[in-house]
Structure 1
Amino acid sequence: MGIQDQKVAVITGASQGIGAGLVTAYAKLGYAVVATSRTIAPVDDTGILTVPGDIADPATAERVIAAAIERFGRIDTLVNNAGIFVAKPFTDYTAEDYAKVTGVNLTGFFRLTQLAVGQMLAQGGGHIVNITTSLVDNADARVPSVLASLTKGGLQSATKSLAIEYATRGIRVNAVSPGTIRTPMHAEETHGFLAGLHPVGRLGEISDIVDAVVYLENAPFVTGEILHVDGGMSAGH
């Protein structure tokens, strides 16, 4: 398999948690991977290119896509995994909170996805997966999260809109909507409370989300899907 035949995945928020799990999973699938986050370090693997940068800055998106094309020649999959979650009562959100959350969750998604879609159209197809949150569909009084709903809810709607816009041009667009997953983002002492938010009574694991993304990757007839991996949260309480 020549380097031009190898499929290429771009993954944001790739240094830890779900993102790091996705880098490993796509490498196992035989993909070259371009991994980006603010703190990502170089790795000794010719099939993985790390690009440090703040995804809220459109210049990072330009650098990531340029690096992917220069090193691997194509982009087959983009996983918009980077996300910030700030749970506060609505009136407590500051201008800084708003700028930070919209910067990563919306601005970062927007420019990177535009550039990736441009490349996918030139190649004749591709796949985009957005990572959202089940709070979008099922608000919970115990977790005030308007900024998550505003931004990740926008991402969920954009998933369907993009899927339909590009349905005849070989680009599929899907989302995975997690419940709370056991990652470094959540302090150990919060796990009991967070587990209780799920009807199944426990947290999800990184592998649950990674497996869902891999399913979507290998599902050519699935587009515009919001795949809930949330221990039943989206079904009710």
Structure 2
Amino acid sequence: MDTEREPVRVVIVDDDQLVRMALRLVIDGEPDLAVVAEAADGNAAITVADEQRPDVVLMDVRMPGRDGLSATRELLTRPAPPRVLVLTTFDSDDLVLGALRAGALGFVLKDTPPPRILDAVRTVAEGNPVLSPAATARVIAAATGPYSSAARGSAREAARKKLSALTERELDTARAVADGLGNPQIAERLHISVATVKAHTSSLFAKLAVENRVQIALLVRDAEE
């Protein structure tokens, strides 16, 4: 890694002071990462993020007062928002999908070994999604398992309404993103340039009101259920 770069600026949000202290020790021990602030709840997270303008917010979910999902949604309305990595002890379907729909770029459990948490922070800082194996299993189960027909129909209708605003090429790009393809692979599939793929992807972010490729994939999945 290029040690000439400025360290990735991290804010830790957790209501447990011991957890914050442990994470700070682990993160500050890395030359390419730096903790610039801590917060104990969602409201404080928004305040310190506005003050510090971090690259990554390491966000707990369940906290007194404002929870992490609500705070994530609020943070991502800011100009040039931070990337959010959810770090929690809970891995229920609702929390995993809720975090991703809120705009979090990653979801990692607190019992994840420290080196993997550090790798997750770096990955998210670069704008790439990351899910712990347990969270990945939850997403797959949610995508393939049953849930109420009413909930399925509501999600399908909302997703299709959003996707209806896309051009045919943008929709093709969204489907390719949902298939997990990177820009070069999308360009090859659609027989267009990588620059055109990037332009379509930027348009997807704007038209679908999403912050990352994970949210695009979730919308496509919902629309095709």
- TM-score, structure 1 normalization: 0.43
User: 1 or 2 for the larger relative contact order (CA 8 Å, sep ≥6)?
Assistant: 1
- TM-score, structure 2 normalization: 0.45
Q: If you compute each CA radius of gyration, which structure gives the higher value, 1 or 2? A: 2
- Identify, as 1 or 2, the structure richer in helix: 2
